[in-house]
Amino acid sequence: MPVEGPVVRDGGVLLRGGLIEAIGRERDLPPCDDVPVTDMGDAILVPGLVDSHCHLEWALMGGLVPDARFGEWLGAFVHRTANVTPADRQAAARYAALVALRSGTTTLADSGPSGFGVTAAGDAGLRAVVHMEVFGRDTGTEAREKVTRHGEALLAARDQAGPRVRVGVSPHSPYTVGPELWAQVLADPILGDCAMAAHVAESPDEVMLLDDGIGPLVDAIRSVGRDPARWPGGGPGVVSRLEAAGALAPGLVAAHCVQVDEGDAAMLADHDVRVAHCPHSNSRLECGDAPIEMLDALGVVVGLGTDSPASAGAYDLRDEARWAAEATARRGGRPVAAEMLALATIGSARVLGMDSEIGSLVPGKRADIVAIRPFEGAPVEADPSLVVLDPRSQVVAAWVDGEQVLDAGASTRLDTPAIVADATEARQRIM
């Protein structure tokens, strides 16, 4: 299933030099006596899944922060994570990369406070963009110094990054980052030039905070001794305030974008801001359902993100696609499995600006491929996308740059028992 292009039965993919050289009926492929042949048997080959927004460092928070409306949840999350050590976040990131790989993800965009995703994803053989988070309402010299230190940390992380990992920056959100610090990030010669992500217009509580300076999100931020950031220009709403402050950088990956109207969508499209749709987290935190059909219709690029187990699932894009289908149905739309699979592949690749390299099985693109074993009796002929997304079908193998990184459901690179043992110990400390 190339995602871009028709389904090929009895198909094959010819890989050479880390790229897809040809795709078609196996018997129609060009002569390839010089390359080894792997027969995947009864399997569906799809593009490696692409997670446009997740947090690897919070992999061990599942079940520890109760579901609640967003503002209350964030307060509980901040308190619950205050004493999680860097070592435990590193163990979490390594475990998360393993889980993502086993779930069929070959590329992910991670946001985290420490940048542990750089080696976690790289060691697993994944392709990744790691957005290092910055927080604060700093102004003037303090803002400039914070941005300089963040740029140095980013360069140090970049030194550790393998060939498949890029390092970027994330001003966390408009309620945790003030307009002056955000502007300094954009103006910085290092940070302003790299991949960027932020949480944008996620919850009604965020809108209440920015428009009126009240609500549970204000209380949550004050409860940890800080003040919420304020964006006085533009408004009402979140996107127009960011726009008025010049904060909508081209290529920005805006996670969530639930609280947006048509005017906001037009601004996002104008500034080439792309949206990572995180329906599971949105549902759990009572944020509402992002209007992705409207965003798409107005020219906004939309992909799929799993966020983190602190608020949602566990780095499983096929599960997230099912949440996306439910959200679409709740909004009166008709969920189509092929469109949900496209969100999790080429859609997310476009969000990350990587669609010329990945996201579909097309000659010339990187050989990032996943093999899915259909469940017994699966209606493969009728709706192969639905079969791919069905949890009874299994991810059995994955390749990145033509390198097999998952074989029979197991990582070919990682010491899985050691990673699981470290994560188990870390989880016990966190609990």
Between 255 and 387, name the residue whose CB sits nearer to Zn ion. Answer: 255
Between 104 and 112, name the residue whose CB sits nearer to Zn ion. Answer: 112
Residue 395's SS3 state is: strand
Between 125 and 168, name the residue whose CB sits nearer to Zn ion. Answer: 168
* Cβ-based neighbours of 246, under 8 Å, separated by 6 or more: 183, 186
Q: How far is the CB of 255 from Zn ion (least distance, A)?
A: 5
Backbone dihedral angles phi then psi of residue 229, each to the nearest 5 degrees? -75, 150
The tokens of 377 are what?
A: 């009796």
Contacts 24+ apart (CB under 8 A), 382-387: 383/337, 383/338, 384/1, 384/7, 384/44, 385/1, 385/336, 385/337, 385/338, 385/340, 385/341, 386/337, 387/44
Between 69 and 413, name the residue whose CB sits nearer to Zn ion. Answer: 69
Q: How far is the CB of 62 from Zn ion (least distance, A)?
A: 15
Q: Which stretch binds Zn ion (CB under 5 A): 139-147, 303-311, 313-321, 343-351?
A: 303-311
Site for Zn ion in 76-115 (CB under 5 A): none
Between 57 and 123, name the residue whose CB sits nearer to Zn ion. Answer: 57
Residue 279's SS3 state is: helix
Site for Zn ion in 257-286 (CB under 5 A): none
Number of residues that bind Zn ion (CB under 5 A): 1
Residue 161's SS3 state is: coil
Q: Which stretch binds Zn ion (CB under 5 A): 243-251, 301-309, 387-395, 415-423?
A: 301-309
Q: Residue 196 half-sphere exposure, CB side, CA atoms within 13 Å?
A: 25
Between 281 and 328, name the residue whose CB sits nearer to Zn ion. Answer: 281
Q: How far is the CB of 307 from Zn ion (least distance, A)?
A: 5
Q: How far is the CB of 362 from Zn ion (least distance, A)?
A: 30
- Minimal CB distance to Zn ion: which residue? 307
Cβ neighbourhood burial of 151 (10 Å; 0-12, 13-18, 19+): buried
Contact 391, 318 (CB under 8 A): yes
Q: Which stretch binds Zn ion (CB under 5 A): 140-148, 227-235, 302-310, 397-405?
A: 302-310
Site for Zn ion in 304-333 (CB under 5 A): 307
Q: How far is the CB of 152 from Zn ion (least distance, A)?
A: 25
Between 243 and 307, name the residue whose CB sits nearer to Zn ion. Answer: 307
Q: How far is the CB of 55 from Zn ion (least distance, A)?
A: 6
Q: Residue 317 half-sphere exposure, CB side, CA atoms within 13 Å?
A: 36
Closest C-alpha among 292, 294, 243, 244 to residue 271: 243
Site for Zn ion in 364-393 (CB under 5 A): none
Between 205 and 307, name the residue whose CB sits nearer to Zn ion. Answer: 307
Beta bridge partners of 394: 373
Q: How far is the CB of 257 from Zn ion (least distance, A)?
A: 12
Between 284 and 366, name the residue whose CB sits nearer to Zn ion. Answer: 284
Backbone dihedral angles phi then psi of residue 189, each to the nearest 5 degrees? -65, -30
The tokens of 97 are what?
A: 């990369």
The tokens of 323 are what?
A: 């949440």
Q: How far is the CB of 216 from Zn ion (least distance, A)?
A: 18
Q: Under the rule (CB under 5 A), what is the footprint of Zn ion?
A: 307
